[in-house]
Amino acid sequence: MSRDAKYSREASVSDIIGPGDAVEQNLEERPQWKVAGVVFFSLLSLLLLYAAFKIIWPFMTAILLAAILVTLTFGIFKRVRSRMKGSSTRAAIAMLLGITFVIVIPAAIVVILLIQQANVVVDKLQSGEAQAMIKRIDVTQHLAFIKRVAPNFDPATLSPDRMLLPAVRQIPGWVARNGGALLGGVAGMFLGFALALLAMFFFYVEGESILQQLSILSPLPKRYDREFAERFKDVIDATFRGQLFTGVAQGLMTGIGMAIAGVPGAGFWGAVAALLSLIPMVGAAAVWVPASIYLVISASMGNTEWWRAIFMIVWGLLPVSLIDNIVRPWAMKGKAQLPAIPLLFAVLGGMQAFGFVGLVIGPLVFSLLMSIIDIYKKSFSLRSSQTEIA
């Protein structure tokens, strides 16, 4: 190429770029400008991520619940989508309808039955005959032996007329004072479920695309991305399996105990206990504690034997309450890849920190932490320990 032609080409390029753009291009090539650009981009990204986190935090429970349900049912979704000629939208709608019927209908039936039972109990307690019977219950003679150990103890303080009657008389006032809060809580539950359905629809339709984009953005090697994805799915599967086995076990134990103690409708209340075991800090105690109170009152009035009430209390405190800590780690240990004791702390700590979704977040955090430790050891060629957790 001749000098004139080369000069003509450089001149045409400079005319297109312009002198200002040429100076800017030279500034971008300087190292200090590259560092400043990286710092500015990082700060802006962190600021936007923080703002996005603050925006979605109130809906985090619904989003996490949606992600958990979609992960558990995505295999079914793909089969439904193949039968609907690859339409993700129609398959997602079909899945949401099925999940709604599977969750909402049994929950509504249980709530209606519980409300009916609660109304019957309250009406009986509010009746004058029931209050008169409560006053006649005398437990002081059965607690007289405590005075041998604690001379200042007064058994009359535990009499039902002092403990139960004031609470019974305050039931209408409590309902009137907290009725708005109860309705608000119910409305909040329906709103949260509706938001979870919307998030599930988005994850069903765009889930595969989201995972692909996350894989592109991830700076980790592909095998580590696959390891994290498999660990996430394994933890969710293990948590669902643990919750299912725990609910069934607590329901069976509650039903068996009630049947032995002679509580009416033991099978039904065992099924209710299995469903309530899904609720943190409530569980099967919401069933066996009222049953124990019923048996204590019945025994105090001479309608049944005392051993039934004592048996129900001991059965609820020991087998029903402790089986949760035995069955859940056993059922979750395989896929969660955590030893039983750390897994128990992960579940309990996750529930305390995050509520219901902490059942998944706790084991997931511990499990992903173990993955990061494994990646670190592989990257720096560290010798693996012989212990189970390393």
Residues 268 and 328 placed together within one structural domain of the fold: yes
Whether 95 maps to a domain, the answer reads: no
pTM score, whole prediction? 0.64
Q: 41, 57, 73 — which closes off a domain?
A: 57
**Chain centre distance of CA 320:** 21
Give percent helix, percent strand, percent coil of the chain, each to the nearest 5. Answer: 85, 0, 15
b/e burial code for range 299-325 (CB count within 10 A of at least 16 → b): bbeeebeeebbebbbebbeebbbebbe
Task: Give residues with Cβ within 8 angstroms of 348, minimum separation 6.
Answer: 362
Whether 296 maps to a domain, the answer reads: yes
Report how far residue 310's alpha carbon sits from residue 261's, in angstroms, rounded to the nearest whole number. Answer: 9
pLDDT at 387 (0 to 100): 47
162: containing domain: 127-169
For every one of its 390 residues, what pLDDT tens digit does the chain have, with 9 covering 90 and above? 555 554 454 444 445 445 555 555 555 566 666 777 778 888 998 999 999 989 988 888 888 888 888 988 898 999 999 999 889 999 999 999 998 888 777 777 777 776 776 666 666 656 555 556 565 665 666 666 666 666 676 666 666 656 665 665 565 555 556 656 666 666 777 888 889 999 999 999 998 898 888 888 877 778 877 877 887 787 778 777 887 888 889 999 999 999 999 888 788 788 888 878 876 666 788 888 888 888 887 787 777 888 998 999 999 989 888 888 788 777 776 655 566 677 778 877 887 777 777 777 787 788 778 778 877 777 766 655 544 444
Residues 158 and 299 placed together within one structural domain of the fold: no
Residues 259 and 368 placed together within one structural domain of the fold: yes
b/e burial code for range 163-186 (CB count within 10 A of at least 16 → b): ebbeebeeeeeeeeeeeeeeeeee
Nearest CA to 242 among 328, 320, 325, 324? 328
Report how far residue 293's alpha carbon sits from residue 290's, in angstroms, rounded to the nearest whole number. Answer: 5
b/e burial code for range 93-114 (CB count within 10 A of at least 16 → b): bbbbeebeeeeeeeeeeeeeee
Q: What is the DSSP letter of 388?
A: S
Residues 159 and 283 placed together within one structural domain of the fold: no
Whether 355 maps to a domain, the answer reads: yes
Residues 377 and 269 placed together within one structural domain of the fold: yes
Residues 253 and 376 placed together within one structural domain of the fold: yes
- Tally the domains of the chain: 3
Whether 288 maps to a domain, the answer reads: yes
Residues 20 and 161 placed together within one structural domain of the fold: no
Residues 301 and 371 placed together within one structural domain of the fold: yes
Whether 100 maps to a domain, the answer reads: no
Whether 198 maps to a domain, the answer reads: no
Residues 352 and 294 placed together within one structural domain of the fold: yes
Nearest CA to 252 among 234, 264, 237, 269? 269
Q: 153, 169, 185 — which closes off a domain?
A: 169
pLDDT at 314 (0 to 100): 92
Residues 230 and 365 placed together within one structural domain of the fold: yes
Report how far residue 350's alpha carbon sits from residue 355's, in angstroms, rounded to the nearest whole number. Answer: 7
On whether the CB atoms of residues 299 and 309 are closer than 8 A, the answer is yes
Residues 251 and 323 placed together within one structural domain of the fold: yes
Residues 157 and 225 placed together within one structural domain of the fold: no
Q: 57, 82, 103 — which closes off a domain?
A: 57
Helix/strand number for the chain, H first, E second: 16, 0
Whether 155 maps to a domain, the answer reads: yes
Whether 300 maps to a domain, the answer reads: yes
